[in-house]
A and B are shown apart, each in its own frame.
Chain A
């Protein structure tokens, strides 16, 4: 089963990692041995809209470090808002920091932080969208 690690949490078989009020926000998969990231935010808390489709910036002041050596990074200025690294053919390790977009969602070495909630060491499976925020 394909799995994704986010802030020490494991998500198995989830199409989208995060949704905002039911709208898919972040997804990441392994394709051809490389990570492929998609991100969509329309009119976020700072009024910022961004869209990345399969590692390509479609909208917003973002850049994507092209996927190579199993890693891709989406940046807003100097800040890496999404970083995805292939661990093995079935596992993708993802780090996020959406605070620059006005969303209090980020990972550190120990957990995934969403608002005041701290999630660590959990396994989430059997859902199209793993975490619905909002």
Chain B
């Protein structure tokens, strides 16, 4: 299986959706390096949990390497770094009054696009001020 979305989905299920995942691209990484096209970013993962992450995915990681013919590179971002530099990847809607429906893309790795509001959105002035 080499479908990139399915790879993220299987990894996300293996770790119980605890940490959002996405394939690295120009939105988060600069420059070039060997394996850039097979790099997965892992967000909100404390430093002490990084080894545990590899333990949880070890079976699938091996299978993945055999299928792809080379290893996947993982880049970890701690919760502090995720909040400071990558919050643009995570949609948040707080305190809004929405007349209509919300439409949210469910990305396999848990990092999605902004929710789309099919209707009218009203944000209370005290939140907007």
Chain A residues packing against B (C-beta within 8 Å): 20, 45-46, 99, 102-106, 114-134
Cβ contact within 8 Å between B112 and A116: yes
From A20, A99, A118, B91 is in contact (CB under 8 Å) with: A118
Cβ contact within 8 Å between A125 and B98: yes
Asked if B90 is at the interface (CB within 8 A of a chain A CB), the reply is: yes
Contacts of A122 on B, CB cut-off 8 Å? Answer: 93-98
Q: Which residue of the partner chain B has the closest CB to A101?
A: B13
Asked if B9 is at the interface (CB within 8 A of a chain A CB), the reply is: yes
What is the distance, in angstroms, from B95's C-beta to the closest C-beta of chain A?
4
How many pairs of residues, A versus B, come closer than 8 Å at their CB atoms? 102
Contacts of B91 on A, CB cut-off 8 Å? Answer: 116-118
* Interface residue tally for chain B (C-beta within 8 Å): 33
Cβ contact within 8 Å between B107 and A116: yes
* Given A102-B13, A104-B110: A129 in contact with B95 (beta carbons within 8 A): no
From A99, A114, A119, A130, B106 is in contact (CB under 8 Å) with: A114
* Given A116-B91, A116-B110, A117-B115: A131 in contact with B13 (beta carbons within 8 A): no
Q: Which residue of the partner chain B has the closest CB to A8?
A: B94
Can you report 25 residue pairs joining A to B where beta carbons are below 8 Å apart?
A20-B106, A45-B9, A99-B17, A114-B112, A115-B105, A115-B106, A115-B107, A116-B20, A116-B91, A116-B110, A116-B111, A117-B91, A117-B92, A120-B95, A121-B95, A122-B96, A124-B100, A125-B97, A125-B99, A127-B100, A127-B101, A130-B101, A130-B102, A132-B104, A134-B105
CA–CA, A128 and B76, complex, Å: 40
* Given A46-B13, A99-B17, A102-B9: A114 in contact with B90 (beta carbons within 8 A): no
From A46, A115, A119, B110 is in contact (CB under 8 Å) with: A115
Asked if B70 is at the interface (CB within 8 A of a chain A CB), the reply is: no
From B94, B100, B106, A104 is in contact (CB under 8 Å) with: B106
Q: Beyond the given A116-B89, A118-B93, A123-B96, could you list 4 further A-B residue pairs with CB under 8 A, ordered by the A residue number?
A: A45-B9, A104-B17, A115-B106, A120-B95
What is the distance, in angstroms, from B4's C-beta to the closest C-beta of chain A?
15
B1-30 interface mask toward A, CB cutoff 8 Å, 1 = contact, 0 = none?
Answer: 000000001001100110010000000000
CA–CA, A12 and B7, complex, Å: 37
Contacts of B97 on A, CB cut-off 8 Å? Answer: 122-123, 125
What is the distance, in angstroms, from B117's C-beta to the closest C-beta of chain A?
9
